[in-house]
């Protein structure tokens, strides 16, 4: 259904035909009538030859409008087929923060060359932003914002607003600074419009300003925007000088990026796979975790080997290993997912961690007992071995209780020592729980060996 809807967005065959026959005027008419998203989609689906023709038919500004709004897989390849002067002009037309995001994807030698060809003013702003770490507030911010002096009147501020608005990324918030460029207030466009013309800005501004430090992590910045429902967030240094702003479109990208990153870690992958990755790249991303889990898995194999005598006496014990290990892993992963999400969203920041762990363990005990009762009945009916049924049921109950407790405690401890809790991935927890559940299961089986025989 989604694919059918996307096919209706624009006539790809018509655009291809116009490109192929170099009908410049007609192509421009059809292409520029599309929404920016649709233009980006067509560009993404086009090969290098079609893109080269598009550069001849469109201006750098027209290309900049859809390139900065489109998530491309390989920016280096895009710039490889683009004339350097055209590329530098295109970057100059972009918002500074978007230009920086694209340049960060390119080799350093190519960045230096493009900066030399860019408009001098734009190059200076971009260079300043390139100094900040990519995943910080400084790496997200743009310097294209509107600020006015607190000593201005509303009439003077409106005149400055009209002057700065064409180059600003957003005009919904006007930030107020003192004579040292320190952030002292904020006023919305609506409040500025309805204020008396002769009133001073310092009398009508809101002195309670929510801001972030230039070095703050992007995930923390996203949480601030979410909590305060902001469209733009000012960025300051340690002396409260206004350096830039972060707009909501960048925050949406951050939330998407952080969610993808946490998902990949929960799946035991060091980085999200792309459908365009080669076999080697895909294997390289997955191998570190799999290698570590292979070594950890040897713990399970060692435990099974140490209880070989027990297995030889009662071979039927082996039939329930997957059930106990699998259920412990599943319940632990469920608990892990709840806690990691709570930590990432800040929901459990103020909660009592011990109380949370007890709740998860209680949940594991209740669900474990329910599943164990069902398994006990099945073993008694099918195999007619009540002692074995008791051992399996008790093992399952304890294993699921311990697994849910571990699933809650491991990410909490990691978060406390400043390690990303998402690293406590599903495969990691599952392997740990395999070891614990096998120790419990075969420990009980060995203890009651005489009754089993």
pLDDT digits 0-9 by tens, 139-189: 999 999 999 999 999 999 999 999 999 888 889 999 999 999 999 999 999
Residue ranges of the chain that CATH labels 3.10.580.10: 147-247
Phi, psi (degrees; rounded to nearest 5) at 130: -65, -20
Q: Which structure tokens are listed for 290?
A: 């799999």
> Which has more confidence, 322 or 282?
322
Q: What is the pTM of this model?
A: 0.64
pLDDT at 367: 93
As a whole number, the mean pLDDT across the chain is 85
Assess whether pLDDT exceeds 80 at residue 2: no
pLDDT at 431: 77
Alpha-carbon distance of 416 to 357, in angstroms, equals: 14
CATH C-level class of 147-247: alpha beta
* CA-CA-CA-CA dihedral for 403, 407, 412, 418, to nearest 10: 120
Alpha-carbon distance of 121 to 40, in angstroms, equals: 27
pLDDT tens digits, 175-234: 999 999 999 999 999 999 999 999 999 999 999 999 999 999 998 899 899 889 999 999
pLDDT at 349: 66
Is there a contact between 336 and 411 (Cβ–Cβ < 8 Å)?
Answer: yes
Residue 3 banded pLDDT, cuts 50, 70, 90: very low
* CA-CA-CA-CA dihedral for 43, 49, 53, 58, to nearest 10: 30
Of 135-139, 384-388, 432-436, the range with the lowest mean pLDDT is: 432-436
How far is C-alpha 107 from the chain's CA centre?
24
Alpha-carbon distance of 217 to 138, in angstroms, equals: 9
pLDDT tens digits, 351-405: 677 788 888 889 989 999 999 999 999 989 988 888 888 988 999 999 999 989 9
Is there a contact between 104 and 134 (Cβ–Cβ < 8 Å)?
Answer: yes
pLDDT at 215: 93
Question: Which positions ≥6 away from 69 have C-beta within 8 Å?
Answer: 36, 37, 40
Q: What is the mean pLDDT of residues 104-117?
A: 90
Residue ranges of the chain that CATH labels 1.10.357.20: 279-452
Structural fold of domain 2-132:
MgtE N-terminal fold (1.25.60)
pLDDT at 298: 74
Structural fold of domain 279-452:
Tetracycline Repressor; domain 2 (1.10.357)
Residue ranges of the chain that CATH labels 1.25.60.10: 2-132
Q: What is the mean pLDDT of residues 410-426?
A: 72
Is there a contact between 201 and 151 (Cβ–Cβ < 8 Å)?
Answer: yes
């Amino acid at each position: 259904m989604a694919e059918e809807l996307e096919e209706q967005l624009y006539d790809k065959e018509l655009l291809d035909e116009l490109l192929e026959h170099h009908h410049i005027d007609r192509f421009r008419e059809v292409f520029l009538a599309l929404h920016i998203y649709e233009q980006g989609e067509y560009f993404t689906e086009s090969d290098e030859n079609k893109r080269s023709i598009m550069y001849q038919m469109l201006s750098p500004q027209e290309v900049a409008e859809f390139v900065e709004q489109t998530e491309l897989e390989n920016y280096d390849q895009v710039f490889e087929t683009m004339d350097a002067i055209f590329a530098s002009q295109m970057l100059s037309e972009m918002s500074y923060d978007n230009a920086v995001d694209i340049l960060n994807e390119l080799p350093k030698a190519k960045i230096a060359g493009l900066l030399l060809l860019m408009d001098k003013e734009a190059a200076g702003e971009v260079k300043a932003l390139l100094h900040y770490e990519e995943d910080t507030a400084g790496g997200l911010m743009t310097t294209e914002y509107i600020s006015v002096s607190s000593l201005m009147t509303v009439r003077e501020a409106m005149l400055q607003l009209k002057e700065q608005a064409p180059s600003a990324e957003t005009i919904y918030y006007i930030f107020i600074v003192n004579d040292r460029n320190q952030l002292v207030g904020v006023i919305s466009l609506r409040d500025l419009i309805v204020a008396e013309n002769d009133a001073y800005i310092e009398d009508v501004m809101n002195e309670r300003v929510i801001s972030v430090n230039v070095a703050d992590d992007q995930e923390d910045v996203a949480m601030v925007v979410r909590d305060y429902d902001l469209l733009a967030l000012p960025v300051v240094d340690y002396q409260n000088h206004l350096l830039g702003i972060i707009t909501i479109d960048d925050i949406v990208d951050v939330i998407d990026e952080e969610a993808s990153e946490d998902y990949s870690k929960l799946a035991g992958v060091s980085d999200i796979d792309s459908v365009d990755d080669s076999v080697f790249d895909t294997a390289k991303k997955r191998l570190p975790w799999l290698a570590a889990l292979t070594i950890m898995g040897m713990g399970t194999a060692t435990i099974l080997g140490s209880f070989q005598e027990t297995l030889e006496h009662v071979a039927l014990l082996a039939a329930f290993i997957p059930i106990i290990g699998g259920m412990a892993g599943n319940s632990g992963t469920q608990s892990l997912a709840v806690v990691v999400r709570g930590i990432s969203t800040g929901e459990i920041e103020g909660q009592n961690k011990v109380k949370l762990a007890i709740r998860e363990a209680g949940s594991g005990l209740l669900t474990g007992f329910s599943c164990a009762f069902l398994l006990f009945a099945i073993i008694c009916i099918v195999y007619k071995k009540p002692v074995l049924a008791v051992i399996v049921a008790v093992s399952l109950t304890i294993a699921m209780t311990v697994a849910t407790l571990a699933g809650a405690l491991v990410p909490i401890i990691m978060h406390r020592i400043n390690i990303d809790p998402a690293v406590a991935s599903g495969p990691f927890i599952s392997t740990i729980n395999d070891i614990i559940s096998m120790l419990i299961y075969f420990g009980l089986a060995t203890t009651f060996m005489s009754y089993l025989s």
